[in-house]
Amino acid sequence: MGIPVTPFETYDHALACIERAVASKRKSFCVAINPIKVYNALHEPQLKQLLGQAEINICDGVGVSIASRILHGRGIHRITGCDLFFRLLSLASERQWGVFLLGASPQSNADARAQLLQRYPHLKIVGWQDGYFEDSRSVVEHINASKADLVFVAMGSPKQEYWIWQHRSQIEASFCMGVGGSFDVASGNIKRAPKLFRMTGTEFLFRFALEPRKRLSHQKILLYFLLRTIRMKLFGARESVGWA
Ligand code: UDP
């Protein structure tokens, strides 16, 4: 479908790759790819361009892995944005990398910091900012003054990805990643789906059961995504330009 996805074998594989980039001060931008983002990218050329330019695109949604299996005969191991976020924080704490937390409400951001410091007592949170600001330039200055190595942006998709993309060249930190609602999860304000749903890649069903109205449009997109994948498999890419 024209959206690149990095085929990491395991979380350790992804962490090793990111660690090398951070150690060599190479800049990278990591995006979590799920069917909603692929669908949006097929309608928004700018988003498609952004996804094409990100250095790391993890396979966040099970739909992406299934589509890869159907289209290319090879599923891609899932690396969810939320799990990678927590594993990176653990690694950052070991390596003493500076972490900047940008996004969520002021309360959720503060609660997330408190909870994370309990979970990783040696974590170096060098700066933070809630996600409801006006002046992006001063936020970028704040990030650079903090000397952060990792910047996590939790402002929802695709807002967070556009924000990172627009400011990536000015942000000196080695690694930037959009993490959606992960600060709300870290703060305890939002519960993650139970393990069974996470293990089977069906978190979307759990979220749908909790918030059916809000999530209905997402479920429709998942269905379109599956239909498009099957159509591409049967008729090839050229026959499948429009969405069902
Ligand atoms: N958010 C923000 N600034 C905004 C809009 C949203 O910081 O202008 C935060 C919001 O408070 C919440 C997160 O972004 O913490 C959005 O989480 P959601 O689960 O909706 O993101 P998704 O992963 O679904 O994109």
Angle subtended by helix axes 45-53 and 35-43, to nearest 10: 120
Its pTM stands at: 0.94
For residue 180, which atom of ligand 1 is closest to its CA? 23
CA atoms within 13 A on the CB side of 102: 26
Backbone angles phi, psi at 134, to 5 degrees: -105, -40
CATH of domain 11-187: 3.40.50.2300
pLDDT tens, residue order, the chain (244 aa):
899 999 999 999 999 999 999 999 999 999 999 999 999 999 999 999 999 999 999 999 999 999 999 999 998 999 999 999 999 999 999 999 999 999 999 999 999 999 999 999 999 999 999 999 999 999 999 999 999 999 999 999 999 999 999 999 999 999 999 999 999 999 999 888 898 988 888 888 888 888 888 888 888 999 999 999 999 999 886 544 444 4
Residue closest via CA to ligand 1's atom 19 equals 181
For residue 179, which atom of ligand 1 is closest to its CA? 23
Dist. CA 237 → ligand 1 center (Å): 33
Segments making up each domain of the chain, as ranges: 11-187, 195-239
| Three-class DSSP category at 168 | coil
